[in-house]
A = this chain, B = another copy of it.
Amino acid sequence: MIKVGIVGGTGYTGVELLRLLAQHPQAELRAITSRADAGTAVSQMFPSLRGHVGLHFTHPDEARLEQCDLVFFATPNGIAMQQARALLDAGVRIIDLAADFRIRDVALWEKWYGMSHACPDLVAEAVYGLPEINRAQIREARLVANPGCYPTAVQLGFIPLLEAGLVDEANLIADAKSGVSGAGRKAELGFLFSEAADNFKAYGVPGHRHLPEIRQGLAQAAQREIGLTFVPHLTPMIRGIHATLYARLRQDADLQTLYEQRYAGEAFVDVMPAGSHPETRSVRGANCCRIAVHRPQQGSTTVVLAVIDNLVKGAAGQAVQNMNIMFGLPETAALTHVPLLP
């Protein structure tokens, strides 16, 4: 059994990790920390976990995380970088679900996240945890930077085109729509039911923190600089991201075959039949990205549709997938849920 700790388990990423790990045959939950809620039963905060999770939240100072095999950080940005070194030194492996180790260019990270990085050298060591790209490195990693939700959907959607060099990589467009849980479990006016229900809006058009992360990943796939316009939107649903991706084709190609071959061996990427329109609910609760590729009116613009559950393949599920890879378990362990529909 892998001894697992979770730092910061009171948000949506945390409760989702608990949902998945509670049913993992080879993970043993040892501690989950929360400074504010130490002593509270986890299942009191999240009644959905009654009967499944017996733990109480522990104060960080008493959690003995250094005795774990693996620690997940389900914390706000800027926490994991403070604590990573000590845990690594104690032989603990780390998966950070926040953004601290996602951007290789530390100066760029500091600009977008508005703080100094506490351990730039660990940034260099960290592996970006998108298994469909970095599986081999993840296997050996001590420190995995779990990708953001938008970046997961956008990268999985664009990568086959970029790796094949088929599109004008200087003018990519990603129009992405997220459910409200993507904003986290924070008491902010804009995410109240009465503000977000029956409403649709774009946000962050001048610039969103996921932009440099996406650019970095797409540039790596294209093996050159890329240009991207990224517009996120808030849509009145709880879970789900739908990325609608636009690129101009440089040449003709069998796009359906390209996608099917690229993801042929992937358990968690589903290339749908030609002509499909994936729905976010078709992956609700599941660690799955469904993709469809279109070329409307046989024109020069290709349209790729990619959906994920932002809390699963976009966060906690991908983290468990990374754990499975890091510890030599079957990659699908505890990740075979059938999506909940309707």
Instruction: List A residues at the B interface (Cβ < 8 Å).
Output: 12, 15, 18-19, 22-23, 46-52, 171, 173, 175, 177, 179-181, 183, 185, 187-189, 191-203, 205-207, 227, 229-231, 233, 235-240, 242, 244, 246, 248, 270, 272, 275-286, 288, 290, 294, 296-297, 299, 301, 303, 305, 307, 311, 336-342
Q: How many copies does the complex hold?
A: 4
Given the complex of chains A and B, what is the CA–CA distance between A237 and B272 in angstroms? Answer: 26
18 contacts between A and B (CB under 8 A): A18-B338, A19-B340, A47-B272, A179-B200, A192-B193, A193-B195, A199-B240, A199-B279, A199-B280, A200-B240, A201-B307, A206-B294, A206-B297, A233-B244, A238-B342, A284-B340, A285-B340, A337-B337
Give the residue name and chain of the B residue nearest to A19 (CB): B338
CA of A277 to CA of B340, assembled, Å: 24
Query: Distance in Å from the Cβ of A29 to the closest Cβ of chain B?
Result: 13
Nearest chain B residue, comparing its CB with the CB of A50? B270
A193, B177: Cβ atoms closer than 8 Å: no
CB contacts (< 8 Å) of A281 on chain B: these are 48, 198-199
CA distance A51 to B290 in the complex (A): 11
Say yes or no: A236-B238 contact (C-beta < 8 A), given A187-B192, A197-B197, A341-B15: no
